[in-house]
Amino acid sequence: MENNRIKVPDSSVVNIEYEYEEAVKQFINNSIELDGEKYIDLNTAIKLLINVSTFSSLFN
């Protein structure tokens, strides 16, 4: 079985983790709660997802 993984410098990993954590905070900070459920405006969600689109490519 081939190993298709690449070595990522530690500084890049730290940066990726930081950016991911910031994106999660943005989702939480931009959500509202209705009847015990959290919601986020679709336009806001799209903007946030565009900012973290690099993360989705890491997990494909």
Q: Residue 25 CA to chain centroid, in angstroms?
A: 9
3 in any annotated domain: no
More confident residue, 19 or 10: 19
Average pLDDT, integer, range 18-29: 83
2 in any annotated domain: no
pLDDT at 55 over 80: no
4 in any annotated domain: no
What percentage of the chain exceeds 70 in pLDDT?
Answer: 62
Number of domains in the chain: 1
pTM of the predicted model as reported, rounded to 2 decimal places: 0.52
Averaged pLDDT score across all residues of the chain: 76
The residue range of the domain holding 34 is 10-58
Three-state SS string over 1-36 comes to CCCCCCCCCHHHHHHHHHHHHHHHHHHHHCEEEECC
Phi-psi region of 31 (alpha: psi -120 to 50; beta: other; left: phi over 0): beta
